Structure 1
Amino acid sequence: MRQQPKVEAQGGKAARVLYKPWGIVGSIVAALIARQVFTVVWTKVVPVDSEDPPKPLESEYSLGQVVLAATIQGAIFAVVKALFQRASARGFQRWTGEWPGD
C-alpha cells in the first residue's frame, strides 16, 4: 500500500512576506555550500591541474568538458537549493506556525 505524500498547509500573505528575508539568507548560504560541494566533486570527477572547472569561453577545454562541468554544477546547485528551501520553510513554519509557500 502506497503512503500518500504529506501536503503542507498553505500560509497567508503575511507569512510569505515575512519569509522573504529568511529565504534570501537561506539561498545565499545554500549557494556558498553548493559551490564548495561542487569544487570537491569536480576535483574528484576530473583530476586535473586546476581546481577550477572549465568556463564556456576557455578555449583549452573541449565542449564535452564544459558541458559536463555545467551539468554537474547545475545538478548540485539545484539539489542543495531545494534542500535548503525546504528546510528553511519547515523552520519558518515551526517558528511562526504558518507555511510560507503557495
Structure 2
Amino acid sequence: MSGKVSKLAYKPVGLLLGIGAGTVAGFVFKEVWKLAGNDDDAPNATDEDRGWTEILVAAALQGAIFSLVKAAVDRGGAVGVRKLTGQWPN
C-alpha cells in the first residue's frame, strides 16, 4: 500500500480513535476527580462558588489526562496500521 493510500486510510480510523479517546478520557477524569476532589463534579471555570485554585487544578488534571489518553490511543492506532499495512501513518 502506498504512503498516500495508507495515510488516507488512517484518517477515518484516527477520527474514530479520537472520539473513543475523548470518551475514555472523560470517564477517567471524572473518576480521578471523585478521588482527588471534594465533589463528584469538577468545577466549571464560571462556577462562582469555586476558588481559582480548585478550578485551575481541575483544568490542569483534565488536560493531562486527555493528553495522555490521546497520545496512547494515537500511538496504538499507528502501531496497528503499521502491522496491517507495513507502513507508518504520517
Provide the alpha-carbon RMSD of the alignment: 1.1
Determine whether 1:85 maps to 2:45.
no
Determine whether 1:57 maps to 2:34.
no
Question: Sequence identity, in percent?
Answer: 36
State the 1:95 CA deviation.
1.0
Stretches of structure 1 lacking an aligned partner (at least 5 in a row): 1-10
In proportion to residue count, which structure has more helix?
2
Match of 1:17 among 8, 11, 15: 8
- How far apart, in 2, do the equivalents of 1:62 and 1:13 lie? 50
TM-score scaled by length of structure 1: 0.83
Instruction: Please say which structure displays the higher CA radius of gyration.
Output: 1
TM-score scaled by length of structure 2: 0.93
State the 1:14 CA deviation.
2.0
State the 1:18 CA deviation.
1.0
Stretches of structure 2 lacking an aligned partner (at least 5 in a row): none
**Partner amino acid, structure 1, of 2:5:** A
4+ runs deviating over 3 angstroms: none
State the 1:47 CA deviation.
2.6
